[in-house]
Amino acid sequence: MRMIGIPKNFIDTRPGMVYSWGGSACTIQTASGTVVTFPQSEERAFSGLSIYGHSTQDGTPSPENPVPIVSAGDEGEINVTVSDGGTQSQTLTLSTPGGLPGIPVASGGNYTDENGQQWVCDEIDLARGKYVQRVKKLSIDDFTIDPGVRPGTTGHRFAAITPDRTVLLRQPTLCNYFPFDSTPNGSFSIEGNYIATDEVGKVFIRVTDDITLDEFHQTYPDLVAYYILETPIETDLSDEEIVAYKELHTYSPATTVSNDAAAWMEVGYLTEE
């Protein structure tokens, strides 16, 4: 069994490792899911807690039949509850003013759900005290005439040009009015309406109707779209959230961790062997 010495007051959250802690052998117990259960646990501090978002749509959108996008934490906060399954419980409230979005991908995700589907999703990493943004939201006001459209091309393209070219090329997008175009180049020759990304950092929408930019904005005033950032953006969690997290602990003889947003979680705690 591998053992590692670690400094006092430091918890390393790598699962599957065994540690020397105050002269005793310790290991990290971890679990993940929308509800996490430790059927045999001791009263210990958490060694890690991460919350992962996701966004879903009930059907394929079209200009005639828009489909809302629902993300974990859309209500503005996520409440995490730690319970012994009886009378004892603790609650941690986390602010999610923009929701906690996530996009399903074929590979390269930062979370894999119980069905094996990978997701690129925003994450609240409490052990590091960071909000990790991997998905960005656009509104109709972000779209203008696409300056890269070739002369003589049929149809119209409207583009959101990110100032720092942060779009991850050819990765899935979500939109409430337009389906994602999964062809390799988001080709402008493909018929129909769709949303895609291109090689110069744009999220663009192709529409078959002969409309102006003003008409586009007037027709889809509540349009929203989500795309994957090429480089995640990290921001600090509030001091209150970090303090509240550090007060959490597991129970003996069992612990259940849940949340009110059906968000995925990864939970760990350090226990003596």
Q: Residue 209's pLDDT band (boundaries 50, 70, 90)?
A: confident
Helix H or strand E segment including 236: strand 224-236
233-239: long-range pairs with CB below 8 Å, 24+: 233/132, 233/133, 234/130, 234/131, 234/132, 234/133, 235/130, 235/131, 235/133, 236/129, 236/130, 236/131, 237/94, 237/124, 237/126, 237/129, 237/130, 237/131, 238/95
Task: Report pTM.
Answer: 0.83
Q: Determine the Cα angle at 41 with ends 270 and 38, to 5°.
A: 100
With 90 as the cut, is the pLDDT of residue 250 above it? yes
State residue 112's pLDDT score.
Answer: 92
Element (H, E) at 242: helix 239-246
Give the least confident one: 6-15, 149-158, 260-269.
Answer: 6-15
Residue 11 clears pLDDT 70, i.e. is over it: no
